[in-house]
């Protein structure tokens, strides 16, 4: 049986977008966003992904399920600057019994007067999370969490 | 003439509120928000304060006005936790020809069923910014920036 | 009895210096160290202060004593740049039964050929820590910790 | 001609080790080092790698060569905790005309009384840097930089 077969099929609707305004603290002396600053954007992206599916990560933690990052991969294509309004797309790309893979694309809308709307793709990334218990042992994701991760998003909160 | 007299009177409407959801990266091993994580919240608070008054900081920078922090003061009262939705109140407290003082209060709404809405005051802070030119020399704030800083806020953007 | 009387007298030898090289991540688009980056330098300064007096903070935590920051005050004077080698001076300035105040001075050695050695004072700061138990209640500092905090430093570790 | 052939052969001595003490700010509510905190360790590792070969990154920047990160890959194996003294091994793994790949291993010495010294491997990572000019265009690494990157390390500075 193939590795692929162990994965749950992931529907196209398993994506959420978070807008993220770049502050000064995230930039570096090159005048662009420091490559390490995106890690926090990715984290916010997946926390929001879960919240919009009525699966706040905090509730999982309180039930004894923890989701540390075990793999991180980023391909940087174009730099972002202070005050840019970035669109962080978070997508569930793969699910196994004890892991979730999120794929990211960070884009910046381009707005030239009189032109068609377009977007610069700034980076692509993915992270793999492992589900563990409070002592660090692998623990299968609960069925309701799998259902929530595979569902379409509900309405965003007024403020998140 | 007193020091106080050099200050511009600041109206009560010189305040804006930003909601800020606490992520994992901002917490520390005590299980609460690390004291250093609030610095970024303060920065976002004043960037948003300026944006809501049609004075985006980026535009000031492009005109050769920079506003580095020259003083920072925080009194921490209660800890915040992961997933808390914090209200960051940013207020212009004093203006001189070459400085702006912002006062902050960070609060957490309390929502006990059946009780009146209430808020925990988590901290109070202020920062003083100095207006300088690109070479680091003091430069008086331009008149339109003073007007914007002293005006009431316009509508928040859909996403910021 | 005066407030001052409640303080333990602090000897002049209650100071330690930590050298800190500035990386890229700590800078911002102004080309200088972001004001928030110093918070981590202060923390390292006092952790090293304690370690050099055989009072590693970790051992205190394991005994149920926690020292969160309850007050932070920084006056920034001159900017630091990427690759600067900064000297972070950490000094115990005041001790009460349940608080410790650390004073900081961050300096940058100046080395002009043929000139006397000199230092730029980049900032002055202080933090106040409160001693609490695991549930957040004030807890007097243990006598051995007070002794260690008031002692001269031992030799620095080979690597810290 | 294969992709591999475009790479310069990298000698075994192209490695440096940096010891890094874990502070509180780098931890999160799980009680371990947040996965994003390692990004700064990697950066310090390669800055130190270059400094020990008389090729400080700052000097390259002043000559108009910039080395932004274009790829980042981390496989996390075991968590690190507050106060751990980590060994960050930085190795040049591949060089092309316009890129450098650094490989990382982060280890924690284990010291059980009476046992042989051993180390836990906490993570493996690599980053790819691209050499560009001040306008962001690819620019071949200068010959002296290539020589330095491929040389054995000189003595560490007293403080870095």
Phi then psi dihedrals of residue B123, to 5 deg: -160, 160
Residue D156 included in any domain: no
Q: Give how far A80 is from chain C: nearest CA, Å.
A: 12
What average pLDDT does the segment D83-100 reach?
97
pLDDT of residue B129: 98
Contact state of A76 with D70 under an 8 Å Cβ cutoff: yes
Q: What's CA C2's distance to the chain center, in Å?
A: 27
Low-confidence ranges of chain B (pLDDT < 70): 1-6, 111-113, 156-160
Q: Pick the residue from chain A with its C-alpha nearest to B25.
A: A40
pLDDT of residue B2: 42
Q: Which residues of C touch A27 (CB under 8 A)?
A: 28-29
Residue B10 included in any domain: yes
Residue C84 included in any domain: yes
pLDDT in tens, B114-129: 777 788 999 999 999 9
Long-range CB contact pairs, D51-60, < 8 A, 24+: D51/D157, D51/D160, D52/D16, D52/D153, D52/D154, D52/D155, D52/D156, D53/D148, D53/D149, D53/D151, D53/D153, D53/D154, D54/D148, D54/D154, D55/D144, D55/D145, D55/D148, D55/D149, D56/C83, D57/C24, D57/C83, D58/C82, D58/C83, D60/D145
Q: Pick the residue from chain D with its C-alpha nearest to B34.
A: D25
Q: Please identify which residue in the block is written with the tokens 């002043």.
A: D62
pLDDT of residue A158: 45
Assess A82–C contact: CB distance below 8 Å, yes or no: yes
Assess C72–B contact: CB distance below 8 Å, yes or no: yes
Structural contact between residues D97 and D140, judged by C-beta atoms closer than 8 angstroms: yes
pLDDT of residue B156: 60
Assess D87–C contact: CB distance below 8 Å, yes or no: no
Q: Pick the residue from chain A with its C-alpha nearest to D42.
A: A36
Look up the domain containing D69 and give its range.
Answer: 4-149
**What's the CA gap between C156 and A96, in Å, rounded?**
48
Q: Give how far B85 is from chain C: nearest CA, Å.
A: 21
Going by their DSSP bridges, the two strands C118-130 and D85-95 should be labelled as unpaired
Selected for mutation to probe chain B from A27, A44, A83 (highest B CB count within 10 Å) is A83
pLDDT of residue C159: 42
> Confidence band (pLDDT; 50, 70, 90) for D7?
confident
Q: Which residues of D touch C38 (CB under 8 A)?
A: none
**What's the CA gap between B49 and B61, in Å, rounded?**
16
Interface B-C: count of C-beta contacts within 8 A: 52
A114 contacts: CB under 8 Å, gap ≥ 6: none
Residue C160 included in any domain: no
Q: Give how far D66 is from chain A: nearest CA, Å.
A: 9
B28 burial type by CB count under 10 A (0-12 exposed, 13-18 middle, 19+ buried): buried
Q: What angle do CA C28, C34, C36 make, to 5 degrees?
A: 140
HEC string for B95-149: ECCCEEEEEEEEEEEECCCCCCCEEEEEEEEEEEEECECCCCCECCCCHHHHHHH
Which DSSP string corresponds to B27-57?
Answer: B-TTSSB-GGGHHHHHHHHHHHHHHTTT--H
Assess D31–C contact: CB distance below 8 Å, yes or no: no
Residue B108 included in any domain: yes
Assess D34–B contact: CB distance below 8 Å, yes or no: yes
Q: What's CA D130's distance to the chain center, in Å?
A: 14
Assess D133–A contact: CB distance below 8 Å, yes or no: no
Of D61, D56, D71, the C-alpha closest to D133 is D61
Selected for mutation to probe chain A from B18, B69, B83, B109 (highest A CB count within 10 Å) is B83
Structural contact between residues B48 and B56, judged by C-beta atoms closer than 8 angstroms: no
Of B35, B113, B39, the C-alpha closest to B80 is B35
pLDDT of residue B18: 96
Assess A142–B contact: CB distance below 8 Å, yes or no: no
Nearest to A83 among B39, B56, B82 (CB): B56
pLDDT of residue D114: 72
Contact state of B57 with A160 under an 8 Å Cβ cutoff: no
Beta-bridge partner residues of C56? none
What average pLDDT does the segment D66-94 reach?
98
C63 contacts: CB under 8 Å, gap ≥ 6: C142
**The domain spanning residue C129 has which CATH number?**
3.10.129.10
How do the pLDDT tens digits run along chain C, 160 residues long?
344 446 778 999 999 999 999 999 999 999 999 999 999 999 999 999 999 999 999 999 999 999 999 999 999 999 999 999 999 999 999 999 999 999 999 999 876 667 777 889 999 999 999 999 999 999 999 999 999 999 999 975 544 4
Q: Give how far C39 is from chain A: nearest CA, Å.
A: 13
**What's the CA gap between D87 and D17, in Å, rounded?**
6
Q: Pick the residue from chain A with its C-alpha nearest to B24.
A: A43
A75 contacts: CB under 8 Å, gap ≥ 6: A123, A124, A125, D70, D71
User: Alpha carbon of A31 to those of A79, A149, D136: distances in Å?
Assistant: 9, 37, 12
Phi then psi dihedrals of residue C53, to 5 deg: -115, 25
Instruction: Provide the domain count of chain D.
Output: 1
Interface B-D: count of C-beta contacts within 8 A: 30
**What's the CA gap between B13 and B105, in Å, rounded?**
15
**What's the CA gap between B139 and D108, in Å, rounded?**
51
SS3 D120: strand
Nearest to A34 among C25, C31, C36 (CB): C25
Q: Which D residues, 91 through 110, put their C-beta within 8 Å of a C-beta on chain B?
A: none
Selected for mutation to probe chain B from D28, D31, D35 (highest B CB count within 10 Å) is D28
pLDDT of residue A41: 98
Low-confidence ranges of chain A (pLDDT < 70): 1-6, 111-113, 156-160
Q: Pick the residue from chain D with its C-alpha nearest to C24.
A: D43
Residue B113 included in any domain: yes
**What's the CA gap between B83 and B23, in Å, rounded?**
6
DSSP A160: -
Helix residue ranges per DSSP H, D6-154: 38-51, 57-62, 143-149
Q: Please identify which residue in the block is written with the tokens 């893979």.
A: A101
User: Alpha carbon of B99 to those of B50, B54, D67: distances in Å?
Assistant: 15, 19, 36
Q: Which residues of A touch D43 (CB under 8 A)?
A: 36
pLDDT of residue C5: 43
pLDDT in tens, A54-98: 999 999 999 999 999 999 999 999 999 999 999 999 999 999 999
Helix residue ranges per DSSP H, C6-142: 38-51, 57-62
D81 burial type by CB count under 10 A (0-12 exposed, 13-18 middle, 19+ buried): middle
Residue D23 included in any domain: yes
Nearest to B39 among C30, C36, C76 (CB): C36
pLDDT of residue C118: 82
Nearest to C31 among A25, A29, A32 (CB): A29
Element housing C105 (H / E): strand C99-110
Q: Give how far D62 is from chain C: nearest CA, Å.
A: 12
The number of helices, as runs of H, and strands, as runs of E, in chain D is 3, 5
Which ipTM did the prediction report?
A: 0.91
Of B109, B131, B129, the C-alpha closest to B119 is B109
Q: What angle do CA D131, D133, D138 make, to 5 degrees?
A: 50
D160 burial type by CB count under 10 A (0-12 exposed, 13-18 middle, 19+ buried): middle
Q: Which residues of A touch B61 (CB under 8 A)?
A: 82
Of C18, A47, A33, D155, the C-alpha closest to B27 is A47
C140 contacts: CB under 8 Å, gap ≥ 6: C97, C98, C131
Phi then psi dihedrals of residue B50, to 5 deg: -70, -40
Interface A-B: count of C-beta contacts within 8 A: 48
Q: Give how far B136 is from chain A: nearest CA, Å.
A: 16
Structural contact between residues B51 and B60, judged by C-beta atoms closer than 8 angstroms: no
Structural contact between residues A113 and A70, judged by C-beta atoms closer than 8 angstroms: no
Nearest to B31 among D29, D36, D82 (CB): D29
pLDDT of residue D2: 42
Q: Please identify which residue in the block is written with the tokens 């430069």.
A: B139
Structural contact between residues A89 and A108, judged by C-beta atoms closer than 8 angstroms: no
Residue B156 included in any domain: no
pLDDT of residue A104: 98
Contact state of A25 with C28 under an 8 Å Cβ cutoff: yes
pLDDT of residue D159: 42
Nearest to D36 among B25, B31, B32 (CB): B25
Of D138, D127, D144, D130, the C-alpha closest to D55 is D144
pLDDT of residue A159: 42
**What's the CA gap between B10 and A93, in Å, rounded?**
52
């Amino acid at each position: 049986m193939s590795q692929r077969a162990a994965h749950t099929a992931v529907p196209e609707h398993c994506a959420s977008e978070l807008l993220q305004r770049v502050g000064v603290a995230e930039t570096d002396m090159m005048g662009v966003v420091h490559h390490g600053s995106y890690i926090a954007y990715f984290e916010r992206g997946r926390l929001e992904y879960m919240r919009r599916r009525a699966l706040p990560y905090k509730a999982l933690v309180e039930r004894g399920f923890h989701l540390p990052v075990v793999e991180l991969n980023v391909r940087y294509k174009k730099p972002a600057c202070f005050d840019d309004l970035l669109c962080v797309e978070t997508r569930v790309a793969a699910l196994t019994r004890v892991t979730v893979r999120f794929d990211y694309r960070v884009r910046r809308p381009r707005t030239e007067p009189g032109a068609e709307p377009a977007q610069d793709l700034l980076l692509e990334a993915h992270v793999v999370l492992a589900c563990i218990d409070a002592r660090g042992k692998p623990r299968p994701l609960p069925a309701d969490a799998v259902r929530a991760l595979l569902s379409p998003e509900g309405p965003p909160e007024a403020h998140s």
